[in-house]
Structure 1
Amino acid sequence: MENTASLAIESDLDSSGRIPGELVDYYRQNGFVRVRGVLQPEEVEHFRGAAAAYLEQHRAESLEKAGVFSQLVNVWQRDETIRDLTLQPGLAAVAEQLAGIPLRIWHDQMLVKEPHNNAATEFHQDRPYWPHANDRQSLSAWIALVDVPPERGCMTFLPGTQNRTGLRPQDLHSEDDLFEVDPSLRWLPRVTVPLRAGDCTFHNSYTGHMALPNTTDLARLAHVNIYIDANTTYSGHPHVITDPLHLPPGAPLNGPTFPRPAQ
């Protein structure tokens, strides 16, 4: 059986839980960064077991219906173990170090590519999908709960595209849609970032990114914490997270549904 977690995880976190300034600079220049060892091996095993069990029970509830991946959202509200990962103060502290502003949880999600799914998640930005207003920045922490080499579906980023705002939502099932929206992006360098179990990428919500197909015998299991500006308000646009809340446009996205995990 494949060992999905390294026995000795290298970590970019110092004793206070902060990351080096050069990683912060890299994130702010490129719109993404890899941070190694945000979880230690025993934590990986703990959270992977909980995630796998949750997936087994709730796979049919996936929001993604095209079969490219399974997407289960707001897991933290339904599973106590995953709640600890979503609201982990250390992850939020790194996110705030990168963003430079106070943050809240928008939602979490499990993103699973089943073995031999053989389908890419095509290039897109996250932010155009979200009903947010008055926000300065939002970013995702994509945590690998198994080793994710390229052949298992790791992500590829378009550096610098965090500054490309104002685009319509893109079709993440269409290989060319983002590049039809902005043809100049097709010619940017692309950076593929493999992760060991316990590693994490943080990416700005405007950074163009895609995920490769999973051609291996093991499911690609990732947990994602999405952080938003603590002052974000609701734009009024429909979204699966906010629709049940019946919020008026301009309402702050705060309180226990959108908590400050670092507090």
Structure 2
Amino acid sequence: MTVAPTSPRTTPESLSEDAVSAYRRDGFVHLPGVISRADAARFAEAALTARNTVRDNHEGMIFTQLLQLWRHDETLRELTLNPDLAAIATRLAGIPLRLWHDQLLIKEPHNGAATEFHQDQPYWPHAGSRHALSAWVALVDVPVDRGCMTFIPGSQHLDGLRSQDLSDHGDMFTVAPELLWEQRVTVPLRAGDCTFHNSRLAHSATPNFTDDPRIAHVTIYVDADLTFAAEPAHPVTDPLGLTVGSPLPDEHFPPFSASA
């Protein structure tokens, strides 16, 4: 009997300097096996349960988005607050980090819609942020035809852009026309793999053409010392009554220690 080779695992101890350098140069890095396939399957099951039971979800043609699962679901909280993921993120960013929020992004079978190129940072009411990044963990296999990510390497240098329309193929290139000619890198993932990407990196995701849902869990890490800005509005901070210029409160946005 032939046994399939085990995928390599990525831990804070095995994270190479080459991977850190690649992230800081390109704005993203693909890390295999940040969680085991068994854990990915367990989290995927919890994600589908949450999709069917959590009231505060956002269903659209592009994807179903569920925020703040770490506050409602013990299983997904384990992934959001995973100390190894936080330690890797801290090393990539090179500064102390805190949680901004988590989210499930589920593309239903044959959804027919791409997530068009955009940056994440313009959607967040943050001031003085030195760095922010997202850990996008595949909870199922995500080949190209199931909605995997595409990145424009180096585009994280673009700062101060308005938010972009995720449903408009040309909007990113209207605000940054030079990106139309830049290289694009598409990264299919196996269950348990992760990409980390800078909050200002232009990225997109293909439609899901398959018979199964694409299930991704995202943990967003931000500068532990950033302050709250008046705009844009955001569902995570809008109910909290925060004062402009104040730090994010730890009870809602827990900081990670240097060792995570």
Per the TM superposition, whether the score is higher than 0.5 is: yes
Query: Is the Cα–Cα contact under 8 Å of residues 18 and 93 in structure 1 kept in the other structure?
Result: no
What count of residue pairs does the alignment treat as equivalent? 254
Percent pairwise identity:
52
TM-score, length of structure 2 as denominator length: 0.94
Per-residue CA distance 1:179-223 (angstroms, 9 max, x = gap): 001110111000000000000000000000000000000100000
Shift of 1:18: 4.2
Distance, in Å, in 1 between the alignment partners of 2:13 and 2:222 is 20
Letter in 1 for 2:35: L
1:115 matched residue in structure 2: 109
Distance, in Å, in 2 between the alignment partners of 1:242 and 1:51 is 23
- Greater CA drift, 228-237 or 47-56: 47-56
Please tell me whether residue 215 in structure 1 is matched to residue 209 in structure 2: yes
Shift of 1:7: 7.3
Query: Is the Cα–Cα contact under 8 Å of residues 234 and 250 in structure 1 kept in the other structure?
Result: yes
2:19 matched residue in structure 1: 23
SS at the partner of 1:117? coil
Distance, in Å, in 2 between the alignment partners of 1:146 and 1:249 is 40
SS at the partner of 2:52? helix
Shift of 1:62: 2.4
Distance, in Å, in 2 between the alignment partners of 1:135 and 1:18 is 28
SS at the partner of 1:256? coil
2:200 matched residue in structure 1: 206
Q: Which of residues 31, 34, 55 is equivalent to 1:35?
A: 31
1:3 matched residue in structure 2: none
Query: Is the Cα–Cα contact under 8 Å of residues 17 and 90 in structure 1 kept in the other structure?
Result: no
Distance, in Å, in 2 between the alignment partners of 1:119 and 1:36 is 27
Query: Is the Cα–Cα contact under 8 Å of residues 111 and 223 in structure 1 kept in the other structure?
Result: yes
Please tell me whether residue 249 in structure 1 is matched to residue 247 in structure 2: no
Q: How does 1:37-76 map to 2 (within 5 A)?
A: 37-58=33-54, 61-64=56-59, 66-76=60-70
Distance, in Å, in 2 between the alignment partners of 1:199 and 1:256 is 29
Distance, in Å, in 1 between the alignment partners of 2:42 and 2:149 is 24
SS at the partner of 1:257? coil
Structure 2 residue ranges without an equivalent (≥5): none
Distance, in Å, in 2 between the alignment partners of 1:61 and 1:7 is 40
Query: Is the Cα–Cα contact under 8 Å of residues 96 and 256 in structure 2 kept in the other structure?
Result: no
Distance, in Å, in 1 between the alignment partners of 2:67 and 2:76 is 11
Query: Is the Cα–Cα contact under 8 Å of residues 152 and 185 in structure 2 kept in the other structure?
Result: yes
Distance, in Å, in 1 between the alignment partners of 2:234 and 2:48 is 26
- Greater CA drift, 49-58 or 154-163: 49-58
1:8 matched residue in structure 2: 6
TM-score, length of structure 1 as denominator length: 0.93
Distance, in Å, in 1 between the alignment partners of 2:161 and 2:149 is 21
Structure 1 residue ranges without an equivalent (≥5): 1-5
Shift of 1:61: 3.3
Shift of 1:36: 0.4
Shift of 1:173: 0.6
Structure 1 stretches (4+) deviating beyond 4 angstroms? none
Distance, in Å, in 1 between the alignment partners of 2:245 and 2:25 is 31
Letter in 2 for 1:61: D
2:166 matched residue in structure 1: 172
Letter in 1 for 2:98: R
- Greater CA drift, 130-139 or 49-58: 49-58
Query: Is the Cα–Cα contact under 8 Å of residues 70 and 102 in structure 2 kept in the other structure?
Result: yes
Query: Is the Cα–Cα contact under 8 Å of residues 233 and 252 in structure 1 kept in the other structure?
Result: yes
Q: Which of residues 130, 146, 165 is equivalent to 2:140?
A: 146
